[in-house]
Chains A and B, each alone.
Chain A
Amino acid sequence: MNSNTGSTGSVPVIELRNIHKKYDDLEVLKGIDLVANKGDVIALIGSSGSGKSTLLRCANLLEIPQQGDIIFQGQAVTWGKKKGQRTPSDKNQLQQMRTNLSMVFQQFNLWAHMTVLQNVVEAPITVLKQNPAEANNRGRELLDKVGIGDKCDQFPSQLSGGQQQRAAIARALAMNPAAMLFDEPTSALDPELEAEVVRVIQALALEGRTMIIVTHDMKLAYDVANHVIFLHDGVIVEQGTPDEVFKNTRSPRLQQFLAATGQEG
């Protein structure tokens, strides 16, 4: 089974320490620290190109930081070298991490050749080796929960963007993950469809799910997060509770950013 019960209050679900990430000469992340404890909802905000997606992708090792440590439920990722590049050396550990940190993408990324239900049960069956019948039952429940139980047998291309994103959230939930990673889950959606997805995310926050959410939606950040991190040019410029960050903004950078997004206060 998925080991999302292992974390007692004291051990963070995921911890990033001094993360540095470069693409060629471009240093995108310049030493980032982040701790997500069980039940935390962390919002990552910042202007375009500040490195939010990159940071999130480092957390489940879709990108490999050149420097820094990633500690998942108390276990630091072990590193090896391949062609002079740092890579995770333990395949099992990598899989364990990825199955426990389910990602929801801006463009949904549902597998186009599978029905919605197949999308949801795919990884539980092939990766977690769950019993297909049970996985299907649970998949249906989850699709019901996000409000698209009637779309089980449709293909992604037959769904609206909001429905696709909710299906993608059901797919993430089906992994029974220790934490969920959202990369701008509402940015590709019309305001109306956005609201559907925001409702689902809010419900998950109320359930006490651990989540890291990259978002341009300051209202979402303010409403659901208990911790907000403002990233600028690859460094954390300011962080704190939503009230601290949005109501008592200290850094001029963040003030500027909030003014520009027109959602100050």
Chain B
Amino acid sequence: MSLQYCADPSLLHGWQWLSCYLLTPKHQLFYTSFLVVFALLAITAPVVLLLGFAGAMAKRSSFLPLRWFGSIYTSMVRGVPDVIFFLFVPIALDQLVEYARHKIKCPDITAPVYQGSDFIVCAAAKMPTSNADAWVHQLWGFSLAVIAFSIVFGAFAANTIHGALQAVPHNQLETARAYGMSDSQVFRRVHLPQMWTYALPGLSNLWMILVKATPLLFLLGVEDIVYWARELGGAKTSYFEYPHPDWRLWYFLALLVFYLLLTWLSGKFFARLTDKFSVDKSRSKANSIKPTLIGIGR
């Protein structure tokens, strides 16, 4: 989808030049890479919620090993800088998968996989396979990123949800029991609905951090918006069709605006959600700026 007058860029000036420049195939790749960010968020967010619930339930379990697992999972992730985790998990997963494939596909190779500091598997075990298309590589990198994001943010979500479940006033649950509800009814009808009030501030915060962490995709070799901004913004000599000086400042400014817009919209969305789930209706309606969520619902 290129405009008619774009046939010979060297003849173009002003806004015509700009419009043609902004529609080059590479720029179109830049625009679609925004979808990568949204895809990451769209896949990660529900998985994080699920893992968060699972982690929280594990921490509350009456089964000791499960409780241990929940606590170890959440406290381990909490104690490590995110970036380290994002670097570690994908490489570890990558090597784990390749190691497994190596054992299955090349059983006759007896040389150890770790030779000195090198990790060497047979060609057939490589992930993705060496003849795979570029998009397979991208997808593989993206999937590893999703897993890393999910594990890290799942642990945070587990903490938040666990705390929120604890925060529901005991008398609300006891009353439900006093009226004959079974444990599962108490959980579904009272505990869970009231939990959201206490979990939403934390989860909304978590979402913001998740959004702001998406450029880490770049770190994992995925061609995301940061990759393309650097790529396109860098100075282009007259050797290129559309030569220009170093414009990275402008490209990164565009990313800045994009993230600001995204977090601002998210903030609005969560404010509405918080309002909806707020246990204390009178307070949240009157105080539209920031609903008070703690210390309510006796």
Contacts and interface: CB of A to CB of B under 8 A. Distances in A.
Interface of A: 60, 62, 91, 95, 98-99, 102-103, 105, 107, 109, 111-113, 122-123, 126-128, 155, 157-158, 171, 175
Q: Tell me whether chain B's interface is mostly helix, strand or loop, or mixed.
A: helix
B195 to A, nearest CB: 10
B280 to A, nearest CB: 5
B181 A127 contact: yes
Contacts of A95: 180, 182
Contacts of A175: 179-180
A122 B281 contact: no
14 contacts: A62-B174, A62-B178, A98-B180, A102-B178, A103-B178, A105-B171, A107-B298, A112-B297, A113-B297, A126-B189, A127-B180, A127-B185, A157-B282, A175-B180
Chain B's interface size range is: 20 to 34
Contacts of A126: 181, 185, 189
A123 B283 CA distance: 27
Contact of B282 (A98, A123, A158): A158
B279 to A, nearest CB: 4
B106 interface: no
A113 B194 contact: yes
Nearest to B279: A112
Contact of A107 (B171, B180, B189, B190): B171
Interface in B243-298: 279-283, 296-298
B65 interface: no
Contact of A157 (B177, B185, B189, B296): B296
B180 A109 contact: no
A3 B140 CA distance: 63
Given A105-B171, A111-B176, A157-B279, 11 more contacts: A62-B177, A91-B182, A98-B178, A98-B180, A102-B178, A107-B298, A122-B179, A123-B181, A127-B179, A127-B181, A157-B296
Contacts of B180: 95, 98-99, 123, 127-128, 175
B189 A122 contact: yes
Given A98-B177, A105-B171, A105-B175, A155 B281 contact: yes
Contacts of B280: 112, 155, 157
Given A112-B172, A113-B197, A113-B297, A98 B281 contact: no
Nearest to B171: A109
Interface in B170-204: 171-172, 174-182, 185, 189-190, 193-194, 197
Contacts of A155: 280-282
A160 B125 CA distance: 70
A112 B282 CA distance: 11
A252 B189 CA distance: 49
Contacts of A128: 180
Contacts of B282: 155, 157-158
Nearest to B192: A113
A60 B178 CA distance: 7
A105 B281 CA distance: 22
A8 B280 CA distance: 44
Contacts of A91: 182
B179 A123 contact: yes
Contacts of B190: 111, 113
A82 to B, nearest CB: 11
Contact of A113 (B185, B193, B298): B193
A1 to B, nearest CB: 14
Contacts of A107: 171, 298
A264 B102 CA distance: 90
B263 to A, nearest CB: 28
Most buried by B among A105, A107, A111: A111
A230 B296 CA distance: 35
Most buried by A among B175, B179, B193, B298: B179
